[in-house]
Amino acid sequence: MAKKASRFLRGARILPPPVSKRVGAADLIDRFYLAYNAGRLREGARLLAEKMLRPEVTVGLSLSGALTPAGLGISCVVPLIKAGFADWIVSTGANLYHDAHFGLGMAMHAGSPFLDDRVLREEGVVRIYDILFSYDVLLDTDAFFRRALEAEEFQAEMSTAEFHYRLGRYVAEREKALGLGEVSVLAAAHRYGVPVYTSSPGDSSIGMNVAAMRILDRGVKIDVSADVNETTAIVYGAKKGKGRSAVWIFGGGSPKNFMLQTEPQIQEVLGIEEKGHDYFLQITDARPDTGGLSGATPSEAVSWGKVDPDRLPDTVVCYLDSTVAMPLLTAYVLARAKKRPLKRLYDRRLELLDALKKEYLRAQAKK
């Protein structure tokens, strides 16, 4: 009598064909990324295309690390926004600041990480690892933001989403005047109604310029509580009815936690019954055992209420450099998933906030 095959041997057989020169990025992932971190990237790509990018899912994208200076804003984030694959964003302020260089027509150059930084300083060159640009790029970008912040519309208190939306219009106008096409995340987010939040608004050159204006009692006041409430309202709105919430995380840090804390805010702080985000995909090179993997793993996030325990199989962590993974995942979903109608969540912020407030009052009344 033949021995029954183990249930653990039901996975697809590893027997790929030879790689050909004509293979596309999506086929490369599906057919050749079969094990180790390549296997996790394939799982993540399929989670995105088959589940996270369904029309009823609201997708939050978080961006940490110096991604926009490397051109990933133009090459990946803008196409994702246009395709309806990123409904709301949490980013470091630095990514948005360096994104503006592109929208303003300023040059970033490929270089080397092995240069003498003392010589670069003498010659007015700034280095981000192997990316080089003139110090004048910083000064000219600062001047652009300071001129914008002098406008009457910025003499008010607002969330970072409203702040970035207004700034995005200025960048979009410059982008158009220079004939650059769609090269800026800020401009694309303004154009397509995607709210963009910064979890640490003072921690970037944009925040530094805001602070400089505040010395003279000019410019915008950032309402960080509005950011917490607006992002929470977005997630609560996504989960009502038959909707789902997905988080797509590049790196970790403050943007990751800020995106994930929306669920503990709903459950723990506001006392509204909820279970957590439904889908979780993170690209990271950090480790949980050193304390460097911010927010830790999806399974640990379950203990905080950040991830729905019933949806834990729909979570993937790829231990991989974001600059490698982002172009591959973008190419994959553009090839494998249908474009989605824009949710234009920026335009719905007040409506979503009102719904959250009503539910919070109902929860308080039950106590």
Q: In the annotation, is 4 catalytic? A: no
Find all residues with CB under 8 Å of 133, minimum gap 6, and list them.
69, 101, 106, 107, 108, 109, 125, 126
Among residues 89, 67, 72, 73, which one has the least CA distance to residue 171? Answer: 73
Alpha-carbon span 337 to 161, nearest angstrom: 27
| CA distances from residue 322 to 185, 249, 254, 332 in whole angstroms, order as listed | 17, 10, 16, 15
Given 4, 242, 275, 306, the catalytic residue: 306
Pairwise CA distance, residues 149 & 138, whole Å: 16
Nearest to 238 by CA among 277, 268, 295: 277
- Active site positions, annotated: 306
